């Protein structure tokens, strides 16, 4: 059995390069202005994440989009989390996202001392990754000591294709493939037939004015031409597309809506900072909308300025990831022509 924990930085020992105040591979989820996230413990470990939740919407932590767990469809997995709450038995949860297919939520009530919670589930058809979120619903404090995920079945290390399905190099279980069998085909018996008939044919020379040719398109409409015989072509105009988001950048990185740019001729992003503090924005690209790579380094968008972002490489999906040292309002444009 594969006993290796598949969750990156599930013990919260590694720090982020950009934001050293929070563990690498994890982001804050939900909460409001009264919610606080604290990274507990010494640098050498053990460490934990504490969420102080006075009330309001649920608050938690989730894996970053670039550190999801690789998984395939129709697999058995076990997720474990060491949790405690103060006071005891505050309503909490573990949420499992199966890519863009579906999600599953496990309700928990941890005690006032560290307690191990284990849940087993099967991945649905179409799964190509797993993303974990752990959080608190009721009022109180949740401490997350460790998060783990293990594949129980199949217990081999499998190679998955781009759709999350098992990749097979050869097949041994269906028997030997038979070689082609040569078959001798007897030629048909030739039969000679003499045919005598009269044929009337117009063999005069064809002229454009009298013997014209009409060409039809696939819809049954004839193609038009000018008096000089030139083909008439109607040029299609450009189609403009725009998407605008008003967001707030915080210390934890967040992402704009992913844009499918596969059929666009020209596109770009623009970010306007209407706050009093600089923000940092990075353009990212992805082949499937799940796994992302930085196309450009972080760029500073100073207060009261606007910056334009265009990718240097091509992949199907594009987005912006933004952050700031304090809450900073941003306006994000995506504009394109096709």
Q: How many CA atoms lie within 13 A of 198 on its CB side?
A: 1
Q: Is residue 330 included in any domain, yes or no?
A: yes
Tokens 């496990």 sit on residue = 106
From 153, 172, 207, give the residue that closes a domain: 153
Among the candidates 90, 118, 153, a domain finishes at 153
Residue 209 pLDDT: 62
Give the separation between CA 15 and CA 7, rounded to whole angstroms: 15
Residue 148 shares a structural domain with residue 250: no
Task: Evaluate whether residue 12 is within a structural domain.
Answer: no
Strands 317-324 and 299-301: unpaired
Q: Looking at the domain assignment, is residue 209 inside a domain?
A: no
CATH of the domain at 253: 2.60.120.510
Residues 143 and 244 in one domain: no
Q: What gap in Å lies between CA 232 and CA 308, rounded to an integer?
A: 40
Question: Which tokens hold the place of 179?
Answer: 């070689």
User: Is residue 20 scored above 70 in pLDDT?
Assistant: yes
Least confident of 87-91, 209-213, 268-272: 209-213
Domain membership of residue 114 (yes or no) is yes
CA distance 99 to 289: 9
Do 139 and 246 share a structural domain? no
Query: What is the domain-level CATH number for residue 60?
Result: 2.60.120.260
pTM over 0.75: no
Domain boundary among 123, 153, 183: 153
Domain extent, residue 64, equals 26-153
Assess if residue 332 is contained within a domain.
yes
**55 in any annotated domain:** yes
Lowest mean pLDDT among 42-56, 144-158, 170-184: 170-184
Angle, CA of 16, 57 and 52, to the nearest 5°: 55
Domain count, the chain: 2
pLDDT above 50 (res 173): no
Q: What share of the chain is helix, strand, coil (3-state, %, to 5)?
A: 0, 40, 55
List pLDDT tens digits, range 256-290: 999 999 999 899 999 999 999 999 999 999 999 99
């Amino acid at each position: 059995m594969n006993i290796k924990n598949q969750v990156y930085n599930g013990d919260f020992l590694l720090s982020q390069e950009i934001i050293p105040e929070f563990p690498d591979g994890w982001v804050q989820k939900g909460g409001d202005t009264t919610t606080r996230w604290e990274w507990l413990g010494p640098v050498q470990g053990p460490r934990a994440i504490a969420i102080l939740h006075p009330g309001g919407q649920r608050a938690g932590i989730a894996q970053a989009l670039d550190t999801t767990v690789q998984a395939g469809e129709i697999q058995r997995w076990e997720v474990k989390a060491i949790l405690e709450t103060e006071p005891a038995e505050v309503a909490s949860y573990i949420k499992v996202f199966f890519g863009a297919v579906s999600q599953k939520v496990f309700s928990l009530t941890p005690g006032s001392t560290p307690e191990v919670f284990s849940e087993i589930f099967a991945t649905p058809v179409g799964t190509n990754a797993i993303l974990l979120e752990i959080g608190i619903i009721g009022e109180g404090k949740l401490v997350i000591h460790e998060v783990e995920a293990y594949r129980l079945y199949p217990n081999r290390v499998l190679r998955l294709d781009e759709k999350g399905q098992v990749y097979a190099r050869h097949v041994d279980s269906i028997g030997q493939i038979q070689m082609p069998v040569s078959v001798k085909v007897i030629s048909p018996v030739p039969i000679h037939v003499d045919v005598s008939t009269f044929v009337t044919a117009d063999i005069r020379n064809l002229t454009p004015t009298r013997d014209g040719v009409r060409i039809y398109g696939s819809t049954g409409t004839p193609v038009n031409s000018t008096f000089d015989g030139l083909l008439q072509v109607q040029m299609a105009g450009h189609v403009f597309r725009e998407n605008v988001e008003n967001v707030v950048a915080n210390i934890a990185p967040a992402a704009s809506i992913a844009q499918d740019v596969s059929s666009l001729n020209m596109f770009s992003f623009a970010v306007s900072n209407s706050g009093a503090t600089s923000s940092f924005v990075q353009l990212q690209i992805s082949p499937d909308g799940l796994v992302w790579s930085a196309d450009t380094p972080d760029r500073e968008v100073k207060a009261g300025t606007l910056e334009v972002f265009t990718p240097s490489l091509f992949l199907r999906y594009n987005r912006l990831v933004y952050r700031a040292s304090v809450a900073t309002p941003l306006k994000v444009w995506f504009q394109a022509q096709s």
